Structure 1
Amino acid sequence: MFYRLMKMIVAPMLKIFFRPWVEGMENIPAEGPAIIASNHLSFSDSFFLPALMKRRVTFIAKSEYFTGTGVKGKLTAAFFKGVGQLPVDRSGVRGAGEAAISSGIEVIKRGELFGVYPEGTRSPDGKLYRGKVGGVARIALATGAPVIPVAMIDTEKLQPPGQVKPNFGVRPGIRIGAPLDFSRYHGMENDRFILRSVTDEVMYEIMRLSGQEYVDIYATAAKRQIQEAKKQAKQSGAEKQP
């Protein structure tokens, strides 16, 4: 019910107000399981990507999105429920990771589409960061499902990190690549070297589709570096004041 309402109401509204474009929709299989692996530039990715796909895509979402208060919180919760997002408590990082992988495998076993952001978090500056070993690779190798690389385009300009109100003059896009077949590694989901190789191949395809600059560190580390630089700049400025 929620999903049908989202496709009938939210998707048309996004198309009217933002005129998003999509390339490569033919790469999404009409039926059968697949893993959608996307870059992550903005909170709005979680709206545009599932809303514009022809098939339902199940993503893992942090549990806070389902427990918000006020009008915004309730609307956000309703949307995520509507598109079939699965809440995961991130307070225990390792446990959350295992829960996400188990949920992804179950979605694939049902013959559905499972979406994942290999970077693990939003990019702090529009660059593409190192994919985390685990999620996309482990699910692909455990199930044999193809991985479809996806690039979100200009969503960080539409809604920069920390900004609530979107910039209506920006037209975002979605570029979908050809499916990647990793069946040659089936059953090797516990080999970290294979997992890294598969993850890097997926990230390379996302980089090629998005045109982003690639940085070979994790996005979480980049966020810490940016925050530390801001903190030092602030302290330096305070010290220079008379």
Structure 2
Amino acid sequence: MTTTEAPRTRLKPQAYRDPRPPEHFARYHRRARERDPDWIYELCRFVLTPYTVGFYRARARGLENVPPFGPAIIAPNHFSFLDHFFVAVYLRRKVRFVAKSQLFKPPLDFVLTHAGVIPIRRGVVDEEAFTSALTVLERGGLVVMYAEAGRSRTGELGRPRWGLGRLALESGAPVVPTAIVGTERARDWRRLRFPQVTVAFGTPMAFERVERPRRQQSQRASELVFERVRELHTRLRAERSRR
């Protein structure tokens, strides 16, 4: 099996801490908890679907594994900002993403807020983000949380973090392990290179609900989910190398 090359496009350094105080994000969390995504979500889907499906020839597998109703967590690997769109484009349900707080700056914050995105402050235990995500799940919503808690910048899968496991255990919602292949080269659009992208939704995983899981419990749950993600990802890349 040939190994996919890491992205060659120069990447901006990641900012792991947001200097803004937690109070700055209160209005975003309030809206995420009280209101569903509105027409902005549908507009983004309408505008971006031709781009993701046309240029990147995006394909989806295992759509039947995503619950048609009720709470669920989609847990993909993460290479690119475009992963949000590739995950959501084929789903009939509106999904609520947990995204880094640094994205919530004008004018993008208007789009993110109306699209139902939940901000999370990296580098700290952001209780408000977990409360917002749990509120959405309690209302029967669909939440996307990346197992790696950030983008892998090597072209290879990163390692799972405990946040996904905590959300799964505290909510008791089924978790859909999801693999995305191709977006590790998605930044090459500047060189007019658009790699084909495939998204595979795996069989949902069930966890017994734990009201206050320990960090070790949460980490173990994340690892179990990511093992499935890794299996799906490895299978997709093996298929691609045989073409």
TM-score scaled by structure 1?
0.73
Structure 1 distance, partners of 2:191, 2:67, is: 31
Quote the Cα distance in structure 1 between the aligned partners of 2:149 and 2:225: 14
Query: How much has 1:77 moved relative to structure 2?
Result: 4.4
Which has the larger Rg? 1
Q: Does 2:226 align with 1:203?
A: yes
Distance in 2 of aligned mates of 1:11 and 1:138 = 32
The correspondence for 1:158, drawn from 186, 193, 196, is 186
Distance 1:151 1:140, change over 3 A: same
2:147 pairs with 79, 98, 118, which one? Answer: 118
Q: What does the per-residue CA deviation read over 1:133-154, in whole Å, with 9 as the maximum and x for residues that have no partner?
A: 1x22112111210000011111
Matches of 1:12 and 1:147, distance apart in 2:
28
Give yes or no for the alignment of 1:129 onto 2:158. Answer: yes
Question: 2:194 aligns to what?
Answer: 169
Report if the CA contact (8 A) 2:119-2:129 is conserved.
Answer: no
Flag the 1:194–1:62 CA change in 2: closer, same or farther, 3 A.
Answer: closer
SS at match of 1:111: coil
> What are the within-5 Å matches in structure 2 for residues 89-108 of structure 1?
89-90=121-122, 93-96=123-126, 98-108=127-137
**Structure with greater helix percent:** 1
The percentage of aligned residue pairs carrying the same residue is 32
Amino acid at match of 2:97: F
Give the counterpart of 2:117 among 61, 82, 85: 85
Structure 1 residue aligned with 2:12:
none
Other-structure match for 2:168: 140
Residues 165, 78 of structure 1: CA spacing in aligned structure 2 closer, same or farther, 3 A cutoff? farther
Question: Among residues 41, 52, 55, which one is paired with 1:14 in the alignment?
Answer: 52
Report SS of the residue matched to 1:47. helix
- Note if 1:42 corresponds to 2:71: no
Moved over 6 A (4+): none
Q: Alpha carbon RMSD of aligned pairs, Å?
A: 2.2
| Conservation of the 8 A alpha-carbon contact between 1:20 and 1:171 | yes
Equivalent in the alignment of 1:54? 92
The unaligned stretches of length 5 or more in structure 1 are 69-73, 213-242
Deviation by residue 1:33-76 (Cα, 9 ceiling, x = unmatched):
001111001121123222332211111222332315xxxxx4x5
8 Å CA contact retained: 1:40, 1:119: yes
Letter in 2 for 1:31: F
User: Quick one: distance in 1 between partners of 2:230 and 2:51?
Assistant: 29
TM-score by length of 2: 0.73
Confirm or deny: 8 A CA contact 1:51 1:83 kept in the other structure: no
- Tell me: CA distance 1:166–1:78, structure 2 relative to 1, closer, same or farther (3 Å): farther
- Cα distance in 1 for partners of 2:77, 2:83 equals 9
User: 1:18 touches 1:170 (CA, 8 Å); kept in 2?
Assistant: yes
State the shift of 1:89 in Å. 4.0
Shift in Å, 1:119: 0.8
Aligned residue pairs, count: 197
Q: Check the 8 A contact 1:36/1:116 in 2, yes or no.
A: yes
Secondary structure (helix, strand or coil) at the match of 2:190 reads coil
Give the counterpart letter for 2:182 in structure 1: D
